[in-house]
Amino acid sequence: MHILVVEDERKIAEALKQGLEAEGYRVTTAASGEDGYFCLTTGEYDLMLLDLMLPGRDGLEILSTIRVKGITTPILVLTGRDTVEDRVRGLDSGADDYLVKPFAFPELLARIRLLLRRGPAEQQHLLKFDDLEIDLLTHKAHRDSQLLDLTVKEFELLAYLMRQQGHVISREMLAQNAWQVRERSTPLDNVIDVNIARLRRKVDGPFERKLIRTLRGVGFCLGDVDHG
């Protein structure tokens, strides 16, 4: 069993590696979200341990990107941020389980065993919102059972909006998560706007109930903004 550990604090990463190897797991470590994402998309892993507080793109962003790309590897999130909101956001973004630091190593092992027994979640590749449904594996999107004819980019955009349903999404978040570009620029903003407009024509155009909202000067939201 091969585990990918994404953790920027070297001491913690080393301790995890040693502890897990002592239990017979094969362990690869990555010190940033980008490295972790690269490893996951180029190697074969049975499980990923993901720290949320990372330099550059944080763990939640990496998590969303991984799931939007249809990667179903079980992911156990490690974090020091012990708030209900972060926990819910982590699970919404596609984490399978969640452990708050500091944790007892035997508890980590128990959670890992559980996730490995469960394997990639079968249902995880299906995302639903209202009468909209997308399949991350087949890259097909339906609304009210009608197939939507989306480009690859429109599909990725929609997948991201569905992962973040109820949350306000800025152009910056779209640039990072759907285009994997860290710096915003006017040309990219224009590309984002054009893609959102096309997506909206396809997803909302033929239907009375509009799902994609524009929040002037702020960004976009799928459904109503969830203030809870």
Judged by CB under 5 A, does residue 156 bind Ca ion?
Answer: no
| Between 16 and 199, CB nearer to Ca ion | 16
Pick one of 29, 50, 51, 74: the residue that binds Ca ion (CB under 5 A).
51
Reference 55, options 32, 26, 79, 29; nearest CA is 32
Compute φ and ψ for 108, nearest 5 degrees: -60, -45
| Structure tokens that stand for 17 in this block | 């590696």
Find the part of the chain contacting Ca ion (CB under 5 A) among 48-56, 163-171, 181-189, 201-209: 48-56
Q: Report how far apart the first and last C-alpha atoms of the chain are (Å, whole number).
A: 39
| Between 77 and 178, CB nearer to Ca ion | 77
| Structure tokens that stand for 152 in this block | 């690859």
- Whose tokens are 């399949």? That residue is 135
In whole angstroms, the minimum distance from the beta carbon of 53 to Ca ion comes to: 4
| Between 36 and 74, CB nearer to Ca ion | 36
In whole angstroms, the minimum distance from the beta carbon of 52 to Ca ion comes to: 7
- Whole-number Å distance between alpha carbons of 77 and 58: 12
| Between 8 and 154, CB nearer to Ca ion | 8
| Between 50 and 196, CB nearer to Ca ion | 50
Judged by CB under 5 A, does residue 39 bind Ca ion?
Answer: no
Residue/partner pairs of 178-187 with CB below 8 Å, 24 or more apart: 178/68, 178/153, 180/65, 182/56, 182/57
Pick one of 3, 5, 8, 35: the residue that binds Ca ion (CB under 5 A).
8
- Which residues are at the interface with Ca ion (CB under 5 A)? 8, 51, 53
